[in-house]
A and B are shown apart, each in its own frame.
Chain A
Amino acid sequence: MAGNTSQGSEGGLALDPMHQFEITRIIPIKIGGLDLSFTNSSLWMVITVAAISALLLLGSKRIVPGRLQSVAEMIYEFISNMVRDTMGDEGRKFFPFILTLFCFILGSNMLGLFTLPVILHPFTVTSHIIVTFALAAMVWFGATVYGFYRNGLGYLKLFAPSGTPVVMLPLLVPIEIISYLSRPVSLSVRLFANMMAGHTMLKVFAAFVVALGWAGVVPLAVMVGFTGLEFLVAFLQAFIFAILSCMYINDAMHPSH
């Protein structure tokens, strides 16, 4: 892969598309044996939360909305409709959670796409699997606990679809359990892989622009298209994460398929 070119050793172009994913400690903090440093990842999480909060809370509340207010209202309505479509009126109580989840993922996906001056390297929080896995595990664990809280042991019916012959149960129950356990894995891998692949591709093509000299116009044109596509992917992945979370919570409310 092009990314393996060692940095600056040939005096030529330093091409290191994975550099953007490196974690650097900004404020080192050590408590016990744990490294709880404030890293660039933490910094961008804070920036994401701040930006989203500012957009949703501090925006103007005029009757005729401006641009930013429109964005905030569109996000709110979009998620509100999605929650109603997937979970019905019962799902209203999960609306704040889903909205927060969607905004955080969308915010970090989008902010990672912006390029800022050298002091503040853009960092995509969601391009690290541990972050997406933490989010997915939180949704999965929460839905499971809620499922048992609401349905008691009846929640286990999820693993034995109604109408199954008893003979098939020893085979079907493990399959259903594996399927259930694979939810947080696929949920997190999907988001992480999309973000990481997209950002790596952007960096690789961006390096081609410099490397090819005047012929760099061609990858530059491609870059424009890719950047647009990445914005679409950033939105789509946040949406898929949110809608799948809705479906999992809906399963927790109504365990019979």
Chain B
Amino acid sequence: MTGDRDTQSPDRLGKLEDRLQKAQSTVNERNRPRQPQSNALGFAFRITTELVAAVVVGVAIGWGLDLWLNSKPWFLIAFFFLGVAAGVVNVYRVTKLSGGDGPVPRSQLPSVNDDDDD
């Protein structure tokens, strides 16, 4: 019994190695960061809500400040544009996070400048 095992041990070790590697790769696969968006429509809808929500919040703040300070319509105008800007910031962050088509996060860019392109 023991001898039998000894003669086969390199083979068995190799198999074990294979299985270990396979297990490791599934673990790696599982730990890989996921893409939150899997379909384009949902992604488009997400971007729209981000944009609209920021504009709505901006307008609400401006309107509230105008009511409070009796300064119609200046805060409304100012905060409308701030809201639009915040919406664009939101959309930029969403596309940055989802990777793929969006711009690459700064942290992932190579730290050394390669001047090939410019």
Does B associate with A?
Answer: yes
Residues of A within 8 A of B (CB): 81-82, 84-85, 174-176, 178-179, 181-183, 185-186, 189-190, 193-194, 233, 236, 239-240, 243, 247
Contacting pair B89 A176 (CB below 8 A):
yes
Q: Which residues of A contact B15 (CB under 8 A)?
A: none
Give the Cβ gap from B89 to chain A, nearest Cβ, in Å: 5
Query: Chain B residue with minimal CB distance to A232?
Result: B39
Contacting pair A189 B61 (CB below 8 A):
no
Query: Chain B residue with minimal CB distance to A236?
Result: B42
A85 contacts which of B31, B53, B87 (Cβ < 8 Å)? B31
* Count of inter-chain pairs, beta carbons less than 8 A: 68
In which size bucket is the chain B interface? 20 to 34
Chain B 55-109 interface residues, beta-carbon cutoff 8 Å to A: 56-58, 61, 79, 82-83, 85-87, 89-90, 97
14 chain-A/chain-B pairs, Cβ below 8 angstroms: A85-B33, A175-B85, A176-B89, A178-B79, A178-B85, A182-B50, A182-B54, A182-B57, A185-B56, A189-B49, A190-B49, A194-B45, A240-B46, A243-B36
Interface of B is mostly: helix
Q: CA–CA, A176 to B92, complex, Å?
A: 13
Contacting pair A182 B87 (CB below 8 A):
yes
Q: CA–CA, A256 to B93, complex, Å?
A: 14
Contacting pair A175 B56 (CB below 8 A):
no
A82-B34, A84-B31, A243-B36 given as contacts; is B86 within 8 A of A178 (CB)? yes
Contacting pair A189 B85 (CB below 8 A):
no
B38 contacts which of A174, A178, A236 (Cβ < 8 Å)? A236
Contacting pair B49 A193 (CB below 8 A):
yes
Q: CA–CA, A179 to B90, complex, Å?
A: 6
Q: CA–CA, A193 to B36, complex, Å?
A: 19
Q: CA–CA, A175 to B45, complex, Å?
A: 22
Contacting pair A81 B82 (CB below 8 A):
no
Query: Chain A residue with minimal CB distance to B89?
Result: A179
The CB with the most chain B CB atoms within 10 A, among A178, A236, A247, is that of A178
Residues of B within 8 A of A (CB): 30-31, 33-34, 36, 38-39, 42, 45-46, 49-50, 52-54, 56-58, 61, 79, 82-83, 85-87, 89-90, 97
A81-B30, A85-B31 given as contacts; is B57 within 8 A of A181 (CB)? yes
Q: CA–CA, A189 to B33, complex, Å?
A: 26
Contacting pair B33 A185 (CB below 8 A):
no
Interface of A is mostly: helix
Q: CA–CA, A183 to B46, complex, Å?
A: 12
Q: Which residues of A contact B85 (CB under 8 A)?
A: 175, 178
Contacting pair A179 B31 (CB below 8 A):
no
Q: CA–CA, A109 to B38, complex, Å?
A: 19
Q: Which residues of A contact B54 (CB under 8 A)?
A: 178-179, 182, 186
Query: Chain A residue with minimal CB distance to B32?
Result: A85
Contacting pair A182 B90 (CB below 8 A):
yes
Q: CA–CA, A179 to B83, complex, Å?
A: 8
Q: Which residues of B contact A84 (CB under 8 A)?
A: 31
Give the Cβ gap from B51 to chain A, nearest Cβ, in Å: 9
Contacting pair A178 B58 (CB below 8 A):
yes
Query: Chain A residue with minimal CB distance to B55?
Result: A182
Q: Which residues of A contact B87 (CB under 8 A)?
A: 182
Give the Cβ gap from B37 to chain A, nearest Cβ, in Å: 8
Q: Which residues of B contact A176 (CB under 8 A)?
A: 86, 89
The CB with the most chain A CB atoms within 10 A, among B39, B57, B79, is that of B57
